[in-house]
Chain A
Amino acid sequence: MARIGVFVCHCGENIGRTVDCARVAEAIRNLPGVVHSVDYKYMCSDPGQQMVKQAIAEQGLTGVVVAACSPHMHEKTFRRAASGAGLNPFLCEMANIREHCSWIHEDREAATAKAIDIARTLVEKVKRNRPLQTIQIPVTRRALVIGGGIAGIQAALDIADGGREVVLVEKEPSIGGHMSQLSETFPTLDCSQCILTPRMVEVYQHPRIRLYAYSEVESVQGYIGNFRVAIRRKARSVDEEKCNGCGACTQACPNRKVPSEFECGLGKRPAIYVPFPQAVPNLPTIDRSRCLLFLNRAKGRPDTCKKCAEACSKGAIDFDQQDRIVTEEVGAIVVATGYQVYSIGKQTGRDDIQGYGEYGYGTLPDVIDGLQFERLASASGPTAGRILRPSDGKEPRRVVFLQCIGSRDPAKGMEYCSKICCMYVAKHTMLYKHKVHDGQATVFYMDIRAAGKGYDEFTRRAIEEEGARYVRGRVSRIWRDGDVLKVEGFDTLSGRPIRMDADMVVLATAVRPQPGIEALAQKLNVSYDRHGFINEAHPKLRPVETSTAGVFVAGACQAPRDIPDSVAMASATASKVLGLFASEMLEREPTVAVVDDARCAGCFHCERVCPYGAVERREIRNRAGQVVRVVAYVNPGVCQGCGTCQATCPSKSVELQGFTDEQVFQQIQALGL
């Protein structure tokens, strides 16, 4: 027998001024099932909450309706109060007579009648509420971090320092990401590798971090707290246990002309290689697409060259090594796969992007992109830190930098701003000036976006102290005339076309997510936008979560981002993960869908419409162990409670707890004549 208590709040003048709260309480008191109906000035205050608790205890209430503000304000407050008095919190509902009534109407009669209607619907609903229990699911308190750049490294270190084990997967032979390719970082001009490599070593040595470099995520199954991840450990052709990192193999390799990915094509590496001297782990890798032995094997020819194996004193080279799949069980996943710099020459990789052939990238050797300039500027780069032209190795006297190549261009490129380029171009002008004292740097820009701490001062310094010439306008064409590059553009501030000579041109090209991000996102069941950037759960208030419970995102794979923001975001994901791991069991709201398997016909329309893949198939067996039916089962750990399944189910065999058909129909009924 229902014993509902109704508490109508005046909220000071907010409700009381327009709605006659005493009359509402009086009208509701006469409803069948209502045993207690009062009004009070401030229900959310301590004495207000005490009133609720007292009524629950004294009147043996089976349900509570607080007619007051929006449930988004105080549902938790009153549920906690109810719980404190021994009433299941899910037997408490709020009727919104403030935001949806007293604040939007002036006519006292109309507002009071509406408040009564609203309160009545919630009374009828709460009579059908069930005492739900929060769902407890076990949590594997280990985390997976995908991506070993600065964001992945930071997340791994924070989680591991927080006491939990981390599995870190990186697809390249070494961790470090793009930050390891940079020469100096803005706005401090810190040596990038100097601040990065200690972190890389810390990851490698950390007792709670298991590092799988040269590995990729193969498949992901499960749900928050209970993921099973298969990881492909690609074959380096080097036995990790035996290798001591001496590098003799890389010295012995006869094929030394492979364009180095780390050097962005400006330098060469051998077929067996370590990408850069500070690589972690310090293990060589055989590039089987370039190694003579493997090329011969592919053609069915015998093994001829084994110079690396011969040079190795540890017998660590293993030409027969295969990829291995390892399985890890984790409770949370952090995606930190970073970005790629997109050159947008002629090849764009996408049909809807036209490219910028007019700048000559890919045809003119002295037109390079920002990452290539970083390699030239790096002390450990292909030119030992000297800025030299790729065409003839001479020092350029005039370097022109172009901003926004491919960014902020809905017509031919990406519509978004790549965020980091204004800063790194200013940095490049300074690096260039520091190395070529009589050189002239010119920057063609549209805007200067330097919003971070110390950022505007940094760009001002480039212009005012270091002699960079900033021209506001775009370049329409670049071509070669003999040894010199001709740059034709427009100076919008003087209103005149500008044509200048340059010895080198550096393009600040758009930042995009890594190739293959869509495939990875699909494995994780996270959503991404049309560029591949991972979608956050809410752009303002949930920036490091995805819409998939248990999967978090950090760094440039979510949007173009610089190092400090990537690090901050990574630490934020770590705090989310550690919060998730705070207890052995994960508590979830019980407003999930539940299938009545006696009525389920096994049509699985629900499975098809569920946005989260929360519907599983369960076999119903008879006593002989034979399968008689296959029915749907909603995994309470995955279900987010949208109710699409219930609306789709032809037999109405699945119910969303807290919003059952009966509850909704009774609310509709309560409004009836």
Chain B
Amino acid sequence: MDGEGARPFEPRITAFVCNWCTYTGADLAGTSRLQMAANVRIIRLPCTGRIDPLFIVKAFERGADGVIVSGCHPADCHYNAGNYHARRRFAIFRELADFLGIDPGRMTFSWVSASEGAKWRDVVNETVDRVRRLGPFTAYRELVTDPPVTRVVGKEVPA
């Protein structure tokens, strides 16, 4: 994608994580200097219960090849029940995503606690590998009709 034949495809992954567990777990991965793939961009939310399925659709529309949703383990949600709502929403959304033309293999839903730095690294690496094999996600970019977003660094956007 992006017209570069020479460079191999590197997937872009957007991750929606909860502040209390996964974000902190990712912090721990950093503190522990656990090296991992550099393809993931984290968006911090207070709780996975805050996640609207539209965020995921928007992420794909805006160039993501894969999405990670990650929160606290069941029974450990900082807000008691937000992760349960996220799980239920995601279970239904996965069906809708398939219908919308998003391969469910492009999405990862995980529980990563604040102490699971290594697990976060594994979720990241595994997702990146999986999405790399699926190839770039192009279906939505062709539908974008509003003025194209200009990129600040590097690549030109095809017209």
Nearest Cβ distance between residue A272 and chain B, in whole angstroms? 46
Contact among A30, A114, A644, A664 for B38, CB-based, below 8 A: A114
Given A27-B153, A104-B35, A547-B80: A114 in contact with B41 (beta carbons within 8 A): yes
Interface residues of A in 97-135 (CB under 8 A from B): 98-101, 103-107, 110-111, 113-114, 116-118, 120-121
Does B133 count as interface, using CB distance less than 8 angstroms? no
- Chain B residues with Cβ below 8 Å from A105 are 35-36, 38
**A671 touching B36, Cβ below 8 Å:** no
**B30 touching A70, Cβ below 8 Å:** yes
Stretch at the interface among A313-321, A437-445, A635-643: A635-643
**B79 touching A669, Cβ below 8 Å:** no
Interface residues of B in 31-65 (CB under 8 A from A): 31, 33-36, 38, 41-47, 49-52, 55, 58-59, 61-64
- Chain A residues with Cβ below 8 Å from B64 are 671
Closest to A646 in B: B50
- Chain A residues with Cβ below 8 Å from B148 are 673
Interface residues of A in 575-618 (CB under 8 A from B): 591, 609, 611-612
Contact among A30, A547, A611, A647 for B50, CB-based, below 8 A: A647
Does A410 count as interface, using CB distance less than 8 angstroms? no
Does B24 count as interface, using CB distance less than 8 angstroms? yes
Nearest Cβ distance between residue B80 and chain A, in whole angstroms? 4
Closest to B80 in A: A611
Query: Most B CB atoms within 10 A — which of A642, A656, A658?
Result: A642
Q: How far does the alpha carbon of A205 sit from the alpha carbon of B40 in the complex, in Å?
A: 63
Given A104-B33, A104-B36, A671-B41: A643 in contact with B26 (beta carbons within 8 A): no
**A118 touching B41, Cβ below 8 Å:** yes
Nearest Cβ distance between residue B84 and chain A, in whole angstroms? 9
Nearest Cβ distance between residue B113 and chain A, in whole angstroms? 12
- Chain B residues with Cβ below 8 Å from A98 are 30
Q: How far does the alpha carbon of A27 sit from the alpha carbon of B12 in the complex, in Å?
A: 20
- Chain B residues with Cβ below 8 Å from A658 are 46
- Chain A residues with Cβ below 8 Å from B141 are 673
- Chain B residues with Cβ below 8 Å from A120 are 152
Nearest Cβ distance between residue B155 and chain A, in whole angstroms? 8
**A104 touching B34, Cβ below 8 Å:** yes
Contact among B38, B49, B62 for A642, CB-based, below 8 A: B49
**A668 touching B26, Cβ below 8 Å:** no
**A611 touching B82, Cβ below 8 Å:** yes
Closest to A609 in B: B85
Tally inter-chain residue pairs, CB-CB below 8 A: 145
Does B131 count as interface, using CB distance less than 8 angstroms? no
**B58 touching A665, Cβ below 8 Å:** yes
Does B123 count as interface, using CB distance less than 8 angstroms? no
Q: How far does the alpha carbon of A591 sit from the alpha carbon of B29 in the complex, in Å?
A: 27
**A644 touching B81, Cβ below 8 Å:** yes
The total of chain A residues at the interface (CB under 8 A) is 52
Nearest Cβ distance between residue A176 and chain B, in whole angstroms? 35
Interface residues of A in 169-216 (CB under 8 A from B): none
Closest to A649 in B: B52
Does A72 count as interface, using CB distance less than 8 angstroms? yes
Interface residues of B in 61-80 (CB under 8 A from A): 61-64, 77-80
- Chain A residues with Cβ below 8 Å from B154 are 113
Does B92 count as interface, using CB distance less than 8 angstroms? no
Q: How far does the alpha carbon of A31 sit from the alpha carbon of B149 in the complex, in Å?
A: 12
Q: How far does the alpha carbon of A70 sit from the alpha carbon of B85 in the complex, in Å?
A: 27
**A643 touching B49, Cβ below 8 Å:** yes
Nearest Cβ distance between residue B16 and chain A, in whole angstroms? 8
**A673 touching B151, Cβ below 8 Å:** yes
Does B127 count as interface, using CB distance less than 8 angstroms? no
Given A100-B42, A646-B50, A647-B51: A669 in contact with B149 (beta carbons within 8 A): yes
Closest to B31 in A: A99
Q: List 5 A-B contacts (CB under 8 A).
A: A100-B42, A104-B35, A113-B154, A611-B82, A643-B45
Chain B residues close to A by CB (< 8 Å): 2, 12, 14, 23-24, 26-27, 29-31, 33-36, 38, 41-47, 49-52, 55, 58-59, 61-64, 77-82, 85, 89, 121, 141, 148-149, 151-155, 157
* A-B residue pairs, 4 tightest by C-beta: A99-B30, A643-B50, A672-B62, A644-B49
Chain A residues close to B by CB (< 8 Å): 27-28, 30-31, 70-72, 96, 98-101, 103-107, 110-111, 113-114, 116-118, 120-121, 527, 547, 591, 609, 611-612, 640-644, 646-648, 656, 658-659, 661, 664-665, 667-669, 671-673
Inter-chain pairs besides A664-B43, A673-B155, 9 sampled, C-beta below 8 Å? A104-B30, A114-B41, A612-B80, A641-B46, A642-B46, A642-B47, A664-B52, A672-B62, A673-B63
